């Protein structure tokens, strides 16, 4: 009885994690990229295959089917990702486990502790498993297993393709949407001032190579009359010393707010760099990995005017 309860709880947890990742594929792909365990060219197919496997194994555990296969795979995957999360935490690459696609926020230490508990429970339950359990697998259990894996995998790919085409997710979990009111509390800042109600807010990450070229452009935008003032939110992994070093390396002429990398990922839920145009306290524009032309053209014109 206890073993069945353990299998069911872990199975539901696995399926929930797979569904969360399929709803927000960008969050999971970015997390896997930060761990540096998969080549960039293989990030999408490997992420999709993992989610399919997680959905299938979770379904098998939930309906108590093929447990002699499902439990060892579960134990192996939990051990692998626990060690991967531990490595990322120790090397400073990540401070968020990314286990539930950002739907549930767990730090790396919380994730490792949870994985240890789940591993211990699965090993104990597996030790009481008998061969009789495998002799009663019904057709509907197999169909649920196949359906769960296919559903989360296909929806993951659909959400990813939808994002590539429309630059937004079909079911966005991010509060940063055009037309919504900006809340400075999202950054852990007190009530915003009048100046902060009209700004170009740029989200960067210290470890992001594509973010560095943006800083020079944002310096120019910040200094150019007629263009919005710039404020940056910089994501880091580490403490005060790492934050001071990262800000110094930026050489930014605009204000910089430092947040944990995981907090930015949960808030933005999109590839970085990203910019928000906030006018009168409302998000009027949102751009990912591309600076809009209406900000670049005045810089080009200003450069031409300065030429002799």
pLDDT surpasses 90 at 113: no
Instruction: Please list, residue by residue across 70-87, b when 16 or more beta carbons sit within 10 angstroms of its beta carbon and e when fewer do.
Output: bbebbbebbeebbebbee
Q: CA-CA distance, 200 to 132, in Å (whole number)?
A: 64
182 in Cβ contact with 192 (< 8 Å): yes
Q: In what order do the strands lie in the sheet with 199-205?
A: 256-260, 230-236, 199-205, 274-279, 282-288
Same structural domain, 69 and 8: yes
Q: CA-CA distance, 266 to 51, in Å (whole number)?
A: 19
Same structural domain, 12 and 159: yes
Q: Which has the minimum average pLDDT: 24-38, 81-95, 286-300?
A: 81-95
Tell me what pLDDT residue 304 has. 46
The residue among 93 and 160 whose pLDDT is bigger is 160
Same structural domain, 126 and 50: yes
pLDDT surpasses 50 at 119: yes
Winning range, highest mean pLDDT, from 31-35, 230-234, 289-293, 304-308? 230-234
3-class secondary structure, 83: helix
Q: Which residues contact 91 (CB under 8 A, 6 or more apart)?
A: none
Same structural domain, 124 and 191: no
Same structural domain, 52 and 80: yes
The residue among 74 and 308 whose pLDDT is bigger is 74
173 falls within a domain: no
268 falls within a domain: yes
Same structural domain, 12 and 150: yes
**120-145: pLDDT as tens digits:** 999 988 888 765 555 577 888 999 99
Domains in the chain, number:
2
For all residues of the chain together, what is the average pLDDT? Answer: 82
Return the bridge partners of 201, or none. 231, 276
Same structural domain, 219 and 267: yes
Q: Which residues contact 274 (CB under 8 A, 6 or more apart)?
A: 202, 203, 268, 286, 287, 288, 289
Same structural domain, 227 and 151: no
Q: CA-CA distance, 174 to 111, in Å (whole number)?
A: 22
When pLDDT is cut at 50, 70 and 90, the band that residue 62 belongs to is very high
Same structural domain, 134 and 10: yes
CATH number of domain containing 214: 3.40.30.10
171 falls within a domain: no
Domain endpoint, select from 114, 134, 166 = 166
Tell me what pLDDT residue 104 has. 64
202 in Cβ contact with 273 (< 8 Å): yes
When pLDDT is cut at 50, 70 and 90, the band that residue 163 belongs to is confident
Same structural domain, 158 and 15: yes
Instruction: Give the whole-number percent of the chain exceeding pLDDT 70.
Output: 83
176 falls within a domain: no
**224-283: pLDDT as tens digits:** 888 889 999 998 876 777 778 888 888 888 989 888 777 777 777 767 788 999 998 889
Q: Which domain holds residue 194?
A: 184-306
- Encoding tokens for residue 18? 């797979």
Tell me what pLDDT residue 80 has. 86
172 falls within a domain: no
Same structural domain, 102 and 217: no
User: What's the rounded mean pLDDT across residues 145-174?
Assistant: 86
Instruction: Give the whole-number percent of the chain exceeding pLDDT 90.
Output: 26
When pLDDT is cut at 50, 70 and 90, the band that residue 98 belongs to is low
Instruction: Please list, residue by residue across 142-159, b when 16 or more beta carbons sit within 10 angstroms of its beta carbon and e when fewer do.
Output: eebbeebbebbbebbbeb
Domain endpoint, select from 136, 166, 196 = 166
Cis peptide before 114 (omega within 30 of 0): no
Tell me what pLDDT residue 267 has. 79
Domain endpoint, select from 101, 134, 166 = 166
Same structural domain, 229 and 155: no
Q: Which has the minimum average pLDDT: 19-28, 73-82, 134-143, 299-308?
A: 299-308
pLDDT surpasses 80 at 99: no
Q: CA-CA distance, 213 to 229, in Å (whole number)?
A: 18
Return the bridge partners of 199, or none. 278
């Amino acid at each position: 009885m206890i073993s069945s309860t353990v299998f069911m709880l872990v199975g539901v947890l696995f399926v929930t994690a797979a569904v969360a990742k399929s709803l927000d594929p960008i969050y999971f792909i970015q997390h896997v990229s930060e761990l540096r365990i998969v080549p960039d060219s293989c990030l999408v197919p490997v992420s999709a295959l993992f989610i399919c496997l997680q959905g299938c194994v979770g379904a098998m555990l939930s309906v108590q089917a093929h447990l002699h296969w499902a439990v060892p795979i579960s134990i192996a995957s939990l051990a692998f990702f626990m060690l991967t999360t531990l490595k990322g935490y120790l090397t400073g690459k990540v401070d968020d486990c990314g286990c539930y696609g950002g739907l549930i926020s767990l730090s790396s230490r919380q994730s490792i502790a949870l994985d240890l508990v789940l591993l211990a429970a699965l090993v104990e339950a597996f030790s009481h498993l008998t061969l009789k359990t495998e002799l009663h697998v019904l057709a509907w259990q197999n169909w649920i297993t196949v359906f769960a894996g296919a559903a989360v995998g296909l929806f993951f790919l659909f959400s990813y393709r939808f994002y590539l085409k429309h630059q937004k997710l079909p079911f966005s979990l991010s509060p940063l949407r055009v037309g919504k009111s900006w809340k400075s509390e999202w950054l852990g800042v007190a009530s915003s001032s009048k100046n902060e109600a009209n700004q170009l807010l740029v989200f960067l990450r210290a470890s992001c190579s594509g973010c560095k070229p943006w800083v020079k452009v944002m310096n120019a935008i910040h200094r150019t009359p007629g263009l919005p003032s710039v404020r940056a939110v910089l994501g880091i992994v580490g403490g005060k010393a790492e934050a001071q070093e990262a800000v110094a390396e930026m050489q930014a002429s605009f204000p910089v707010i430092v947040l944990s990398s995981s907090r930015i990922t949960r808030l933005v839920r999109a590839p970085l760099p990203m910019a928000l145009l906030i006018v009168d306290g409302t998000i009027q524009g949102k751009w990912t990995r591309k600076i809009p032309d209406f900000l670049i053209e005045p810089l080009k014109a200003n450069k031409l005017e300065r030429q002799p």
